[in-house]
């Protein structure tokens, strides 16, 4: 993958930019132009970039499938019972009340570092907003 055109960035300097390019993390137009020009002139680096793209997409798909688990049935039942209890308490109160919001959010953040490590962060949030009166 060594290219001898003097106007072209050497391949060993281009390799660290491949993952940044794949992840759309090159924000400067001139740097993006250098990377894209290199790929258009160097079939070896283009092939490495395409293979890395394919590999990263496969890993992401595997991680998404592996992390897409349903909540345990007992947890789901507890949440539903708690919501039902709150609703019944609201019905029994003397003041008219309305459930305004109940939200459950789970976010998975996956980062592939340039040294090949993978970092996964999972954040869960349960938010409820009920009238206080």
When pLDDT is cut at 50, 70 and 90, the band that residue 122 belongs to is low
Assess whether pLDDT exceeds 80 at residue 92. no
* pLDDT tens-digit series, residues 26-84: 888 998 999 999 999 999 999 999 998 888 888 877 776 666 666 778 888 888 888 88
Q: Which residue has the higher pLDDT, 86 or 7?
A: 86
Please count the other Cβ atoms lying within 10 Å of the Cβ belonging to residue 21: 19
| pLDDT computed for residue 86 by the predictor | 80
What is the Cα–Cα distance from 46 to 43, expressed in whole angstroms? 5
Q: Please give the pLDDT value at position 36.
A: 92
Whether 20 shows a pLDDT value over 70: the answer reads yes
Torsion of CA 15, 17, 19, 22, to 10 degrees: -120
Mean pLDDT, the chain, rounded, equals 76
All structural domains of the chain with their residue ranges: 11-66, 69-129
- At residue 3 the predicted structure's pLDDT band, cuts being 50, 70 and 90, is very low
pLDDT of residue 24: 85
SS3 13: helix
Token pair 């954040």 in the structure block, residue: 123
Q: Which residue has the higher pLDDT, 25 or 129?
A: 25
**Burial classification of residue 33, based on how many CB atoms lie within 10 Å of its CB (0-12 exposed, 13-18 middle, 19 or more buried):** exposed
Q: What is the pTM for the complete model shown?
A: 0.47
7 vs 58, which has greater pLDDT? Answer: 58
């Amino acid at each position: 993958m060594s290219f001898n055109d003097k106007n072209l960035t050497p391949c060993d300097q281009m390799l660290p930019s491949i993952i940044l390019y794949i992840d759309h993390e090159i924000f400067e137009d001139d740097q993006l132009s250098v990377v894209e020009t290199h790929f258009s002139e160097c079939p070896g680096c283009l092939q490495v970039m395409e293979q890395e793209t394919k590999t990263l997409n496969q890993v992401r798909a595997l991680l998404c499938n592996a992390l897409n688990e349903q909540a345990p049935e007992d947890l789901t039942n507890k949440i539903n019972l708690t919501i039902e209890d709150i609703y019944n308490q609201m019905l029994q109160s003397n003041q008219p009340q309305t459930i305004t919001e109940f939200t459950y959010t789970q976010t998975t953040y996956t980062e592939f570092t340039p040294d090949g490590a993978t970092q996964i962060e999972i954040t869960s949030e349960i938010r409820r907003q009920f009238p206080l009166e």
